[in-house]
Structure 1
Amino acid sequence: MMIEFPVSGVETSLWLPPLVAFVLSFFSSMVGVSGAFLLMPFQMSVLGYAGPSASATNLVFNLFATPGGVWRYSRDRRMAWPLAGIILLGTLPGVVLGFYLRVLVFPDEGRFKLFVGVVLLLLAWRLLSEFAPWANRKRAPQWTGSGTVHLARHDWRRMEFRQDGQVCGFPVPAMLALAFVVGIVGGTYGIGGGAIIAPFCIAVFRLPVAVVAGAALAGTFATSVIGIAVYSLLPVPGGGGAAPDWLLGSLFGVGGLVGMYAGAATQKHMPQALLRLGLGLLLGALGAWYLWPGGV
């Protein structure tokens, strides 16, 4: 059954958006990524939906989808809530700035592809470099992801977590600064400030996926709420609108909700090194796709 969405003008089968969102969310939620960053090329290349409104629609997907993963991580006592709070505090201002970058600097598809492609390739390079034969840097802790995550230290200088006798941590000011920058990128792309904090935390601060995943999804949900308000209410310079297609975004969200819950439940059974490798390869392929002439 084909349906036309009046806000975006997209015409597609009713079952396709939730199915695609389920598959993307199942795998991406294991490393704390909502899957919205993969929905953007799907919207642009398959549905023919681009522009600031498409970014806002991605945020609607997060609004529906991320609670499934957050609830599952919380239920399994694998949610690092203090880390989620820092992510939220840093990314919220960046999301607002990201909106203005999207409508002023990257309103057209060409510039937007270049912006996102460079960001994703840099992330992929940082994640995959530890697997190179010549790499001699200290590897991130190899946590199983199955044990309870405990807060070991929390002050204005440093935060640390413990799981099964292993400890990891990061400097709080550096995390806030990183979250602010990531919030700008996430707000511009339309994936929420927390959606791409996970690969940064894994690559830059050497945090285990087991600590980052749930906190990143919680941050994604909160910043997506603010992002939708920003895209819907703030005036677009030069006229026009950037409000989301709620019907299309909700269909994405229904599939994403089920996919994220299933992915969060499966994550504790997956090798952490394999998840990091998979995330790096995925980001690299997507970034190259954005930069390739005629891609997306």
Structure 2
Amino acid sequence: MPDLVTSLLSISSGGIVGLVLGLVGGGGSILAVPLLIYAVGVKSPHVAIGTSAVAVAASALGNLFPHWRNGNVKWACAAVFASAGVIGAFGGAAAAKAMDGQRLLALFGLVMIVVGALMLRGRRCEGDPNVKLTRESASKLVPTLVGIGFIVGMFSGFFGIGGGFLIVPGLMLATGMPLTSAIGTSLFAVSAFGAATAASYALSGFVDWPMAGLFVLGGLGGGVMGVQLGQILSAQKRGLTLVFGSLVIIVGIYVVARGFLPVAQAGE
């Protein structure tokens, strides 16, 4: 069991991720790995990724139910997308575990920079709210759902992140569904990818379960506060997203620098 200071840092870090997710939505979980390493003090990037995957899966599952109640989850599309993605997630996790931890961390920082840039760009809301996966539409929708789902799942498993920033546009591209439906549907895939990644890392002993539990606990509390604060600041949500996207880029640059520095020193 982590000591008191580590426990408090784990809960606080989870709270930050939950708060950000409640405020700006997708992309918030990208902070989980750097928080576990640089704030909580997890030494191994592999353990940080495996532990964060547990938290990502739990957070997505918890947020899935409100979207389900609001009718924003297209279950047939979600099932096909997630099934293909889970296979990709296991493959991505296996590849990541075989990579040097510092190089993996540096690549993670590069991903953060890309995610931040995508958040700064924003997302379009157009789409067909009536799109459904049926026998008639299967020949058109299934190939794109499977192909994009596998690629995004592999990416998610490799870096131990939810991948919502890729899943949402991926679902919109594959099916033509609107943003609200893509966000709700993506949470099913995020929870599935996170669970697959966590299982792969757990089998290799790369999950700190007590820490993961504390991180999830903090995330639940932070998520409640984030949703409430997000309602109050709804008029400034685009501004909040821009600020957070900039923060992700800055943290990503820091992670890249810290990740590549030991590699460069090792080569001297």
Q: TM-score range by the shorter chain?
A: 0.7 to 0.9
Unaligned 5+ residue runs, structure 2?
A: 262-268
Change (3 A) 1:231 1:29: same
Bigger strand share? 1
Instruction: Say whether 1:20 aligns with 2:20.
Output: no
- Name the counterpart of 1:152: 131
Q: For residue 21 of structure 1, what is the amino acid of its counterpart? A: G
Instruction: Say whether 1:76 aligns with 2:39.
Output: no
Unaligned 5+ residue runs, structure 1?
A: 131-138, 144-148, 159-170, 234-240
- Name the counterpart of 2:189: 219
> How far off its partner does 1:42 sit?
0.9
Alpha-carbon deviations, 1:241-292, whole Å to 9, x = none?
Answer: 4331110000111122233355467767836755664564344233322223
TM-score by length of 2: 0.75
Match of 1:96 among 85, 90, 101: 90
Q: For residues 15 and 202 of structure 2, what CA distance do their matches in structure 1 show?
A: 26
Q: For residue 211 of structure 2, what is the amino acid of its counterpart? A: L
Q: For residues 232 and 256 of structure 1, what CA distance do their matches in structure 2 show?
A: 21
Q: CA RMSD in A?
A: 3.6
Q: For residues 275 and 172 of structure 1, what CA distance do their matches in structure 2 show?
A: 35
Bigger helix share? 2
Q: Percent identity at matched positions?
A: 21
Match of 2:249 among 268, 278, 284: 284
Question: Contact conserved, 1:140 with 1:202, CA < 8 A, in 2?
Answer: no
> How far off its partner does 1:41 sit?
0.4
- Name the counterpart of 2:146: 176
Q: For residue 23 of structure 1, what is the amino acid of its counterpart? A: I
> How far off its partner does 1:34 sit?
7.0
Alpha-carbon deviations, 1:6-47, whole Å to 9, x = none?
Answer: xxxx77343332232123223225555374321100111122
> How far off its partner does 1:102 sit?
1.4
SS of 2:249's partner is helix
Q: For residues 140 and 258 of structure 1, what CA distance do their matches in structure 2 show?
A: 30
- Name the counterpart of 1:163: none
SS of 2:79's partner is helix
Q: For residues 153 and 187 of structure 1, what CA distance do their matches in structure 2 show?
A: 27
Match of 2:214 among 235, 251, 273: 251
SS of 1:152's partner is coil
Q: For residues 63 and 175 of structure 1, what CA distance do their matches in structure 2 show?
A: 21
Change (3 A) 1:199 1:275: farther
TM-score by length of 1: 0.69
Alpha-carbon deviations, 1:75-108, whole Å to 9, x = none?
Answer: 2333333443243123111111112221212x32
- Name the counterpart of 1:260: 223
Match of 1:190 among 160, 168, 186: 160
> How far off its partner does 1:185 sit?
2.0
Question: Contact conserved, 1:32 with 1:214, CA < 8 A, in 2?
Answer: no
